Amino acid sequence: MAFIELKHVSFTYPSADNAAIDDFSLSIEKGEFVVLFGSSGSGKSTVLRLLKKEIQPHGVLKGEMMINGHSLSQDGMPSSQVGFVFQDPENQVVADDVLHEVVFGLENMGVMTNEMRSRVAEMVHFFGAESLLHRKTHELSGGMKQQINLASVLLMQPDILLLDEPTAQLDPVSAREFLDMLVRLNEEFGMTIILAEHRLDDVFTIADKIVLLKNGKCIAEGEPKQVIETIWDSQEQPFIPNIPTLYLSTTKKENRRDIPLSVKEGRNWVQELNLIGQSKENRAHKEIQDKKLLEVKDLLFQYRKEGAAVLNELDFTLNKGEIYALLGGNGSGKSTLLKILVGILKPINGKVTLLDKPLKAWKSLEIAKKVGYLPQNPKIFFVHDSVEKEINDTMQKWNITNQTEVNNLLQRLGISHLLHNHPYDLSGGELQKAALACVLLRKPDILLLDEPTKGLDPISKDSFSKILHNLQEEGITVVMSTHDIEFAAQNATKCGMMFQGNITSENEPKEFFKGNYFYTTMVQRLFRHLPDKEIVTLGEAISLCK
C-alpha cells in the first residue's frame, strides 16, 4: 500500500457551481518528492489542504484519503507529523516577533525547554537567521517571512511536508538554497515532500514524480521527462520549463533522445550542435522618451531609529515609457522603495519628485490618480465581499463608464468567471489577477507593481506580458519589483539591482543578466560557456538553435 493514497476524491466549496477537485486519484510512496503544477485555480492548493486535517477547507468531500494506512477522515496522522507551508506567508504568522513565531509550534507540542533550545539553535543557524530572531514579524519582507515559516514547521520534525508555492516570494539565491534544503530533507531524512509550484525550471530536476492538474482533475502524472513528452503537443505546453522546451522546439521527433532538464544535461546536448552566428530574434522595445516622470535623490529610510537603514543615499530616475524591473535579495528594500514612490511611507531624508513637483506637495488623491500601486499582499487591496463589487466600486470611484473595455480586461486576465466569488476564496494567482484588474482599470500614468507575477501560471504570465506591452504603447510607465528573472528578461526595458539600500547597477536586460550566476535566466546559464553567444531569452535560444 502507498504511504499516501487518494482514491476518487472530489471536493466542492460552499456555493460553488463546479468541484474544485473532481475524481482525483494519486498514490505517493514514502520518501517521494512530488510536484503539483497547473494553472491558477486548478486545485493544487485544495489538494494540499485536504491532506492536513486541521486546515481542511469547508465543503462537500467525497472519496477516500489514506495516510500510512489510516483514513484521514478518522484518525489520520498526528498534526505535528504533517507540516504545511502556506502560499501566503501572512496567513501563517501568529506572533509579534520572530523568536516567539519560531517556537510557537514547539510550545503547543509541549516540548521540554532544553530540547526546544537545542532545536531552535540548530535550525536558526542552518537558516542563517540569527539577525532576525529579535525583529518584529511585521518588519520582515515576504520572502523572510516565508523562510521563518518553513523553519517553524521543520522544528516540529514532520514526516510529511506540504508546501504551497514556497518560492514565490524568494529571490533566486534564497529560492535555490530553499530547494537545496528540501532535497536534503528528502534524501537524508526520508521526508515525503509534496510541493505545488509555478516556477518549474528548478523543481522538475529534483522531483521523483510530477502531477499536472486541470479543472481539479489529474491530466498527467509520472516521472518529469515522461510527463513532459506526454504534454508537449497539448494545450499544457506552456508549463514545460525552458531547457526541455528549447530541446523539443528544435529537435525533430525522430531525432529525440533523453530530454534534458538541467543546465548540465542541456550543455551536453548543445555541444553536439554546430551553432553558427547569433540569434536573429529582434526584441524591439518601444523607444523610451527622455522625459523624467519620477526622480529620487539621496533617499534615506529606516523603520526604526535604532535600526539599520533600509534605503541609504539611493538615487533613481524613471523615464516615460519604461518597463523597469527592480531586482535584489529579500529584504533589500524593493517593496519599501515602491511604498515611498506612492507616498505610503515618508523618507527620513532625500527628495522624491513626481512630474517635476516634490511628492510631499501632492495630495493623496492626486498621487492615486497618477500612480497605481499593486501591493505584495493583494488581500489588503479588497474591502468588498465579491470581485464584482470591487470592480464596480473601482469603476464608480474613478468614473469609468466603458463596460465593454472592463469586460475585455477581465477576459484577458481570465477572471470573468470569478466575479461572484469572495476575494479570499480565490487562489493566490486568481487573487493577484483580480487586484491587478482594479489597478489597471484606472489607467494611471505610472504603475508600481510589487511581485506582480507571484502566483501566476505560465499562461497567465504570457497574458500579463501582452497587457504590459499594450500599456507601454498607451504611454503608461511601469516599475515592478520582482524575483521572476525570466519575466524581467523578456519584458523589461531596464533592470536595476538593489543591494545594501541602493540601486548598485542598472542596464538593459541583455547587458544586465550577462555574466551573472544567480540573477540570470536559465537559457543564459545554458549558453554562458559559449562567450560569442549572448543569449538571454528562450526566443533567442530557439532562433539560434534552429
Lowest mean pLDDT segment, chosen from 54-58, 196-200, 427-431, 473-477:
427-431
Question: Best-predicted range by mean pLDDT among 96-100, 139-143, 424-428?
Answer: 96-100
Please report, for the chain, the start and end positions of each structural domain, with discontinuous segments joined by +.
Answer: 4-236, 242-282+541-545, 292-513
**What average pLDDT does range 265-273 have in this prediction?**
88
Query: CB under 8 Å, gap of 24 or more: what pairs does 239-244 form?
Result: 239/37, 239/38, 239/200, 239/212, 239/457, 239/458, 240/200, 241/200, 241/201, 241/204, 241/522, 242/201, 242/486, 242/521, 242/522, 242/523, 242/538, 242/541, 243/201, 243/522, 243/523, 243/526, 244/204
Q: Does domain 4-236 have CATH number 3.40.50.300?
A: yes
pLDDT above 70 for 313: yes
pLDDT digits (tens, 9 = 90+) for 326-362: 999 988 999 999 999 999 999 999 999 999 999 999 9
Phi, psi dihedrals of residue 472, rounded to the nearest 5°: -60, -40
pLDDT above 70 for 138: yes
Distance between CA atoms of 199 and 166, rounded to whole angstroms?
A: 10
Q: Would you state the pLDDT for residue 371?
A: 95
Q: In terms of DSSP H, where are the helices of 23-97? A: 44-50
Domains 4-236 and 292-513 share a fold: yes
DSSP for 438-496, written as a single string = HHHHT--SEEEEESTTTT--HHHHHHHHHHHHHHHHTT-EEEEE-S-HHHHHHH-SEEE
Question: Which H helix or E strand runs over 430?
Answer: helix 428-441
The amino acid present at 532, given as its one-letter code, is D
pLDDT digits (tens, 9 = 90+) for 201-248: 999 999 999 999 999 999 999 999 999 999 999 999 999 999 999 999
The CATH architecture to which 292-513 belongs is 3-Layer(aba) Sandwich (3.40)
Q: Would you state the pLDDT for residue 305?
A: 81
> Could you say which DSSP state residue 91 is in?
G
Sign of CA dihedral 115, 120, 122, 123: positive
The amino acid present at 212, given as its one-letter code, is L
User: How confident is residue 443, by pLDDT bands cut at 50, 70 and 90?
Assistant: confident
**What average pLDDT does range 14-42 have in this prediction?**
93
Q: Would you state the pLDDT for residue 284?
A: 47
Question: Best-predicted range by mean pLDDT among 47-56, 64-73, 286-295?
Answer: 47-56
Q: Would you state the pLDDT for residue 361?
A: 93
pLDDT above 70 as % of the chain: 96
Mean pLDDT of the chain: 89
**Stronger pLDDT, 94 or 301, i.e. the higher one:** 301
DSSP for 221-274, written as a single string = EESHHHHHHHHTTSTTGGGS-HHHHHHHHHS-GGG--SPP-SHHHHHHHHTTS-
pLDDT digits (tens, 9 = 90+) for 387-401: 999 999 999 989 998
pLDDT above 90 for 20: yes
**Stronger pLDDT, 23 or 429, i.e. the higher one:** 23
pLDDT digits (tens, 9 = 90+) for 277-289: 555 555 545 566 6
Nine-digit cell string for 17: 457551481
**What average pLDDT does range 20-32 have in this prediction?**
95
pLDDT digits (tens, 9 = 90+) for 444-486: 999 999 999 988 899 889 988 998 998 899 889 999 999 999 9
**What average pLDDT does range 114-130 have in this prediction?**
87
Q: In terms of DSSP H, where are the helices of 40-112? A: 44-50, 98-109
pTM for this predicted structure: 0.87
Question: Which H helix or E strand runs over 152?
Answer: helix 142-154
Distance between CA atoms of 531 and 514, rounded to whole angstroms?
A: 10
Are 449 and 480 in contact, with CB atoms under 8 Å apart? Answer: yes
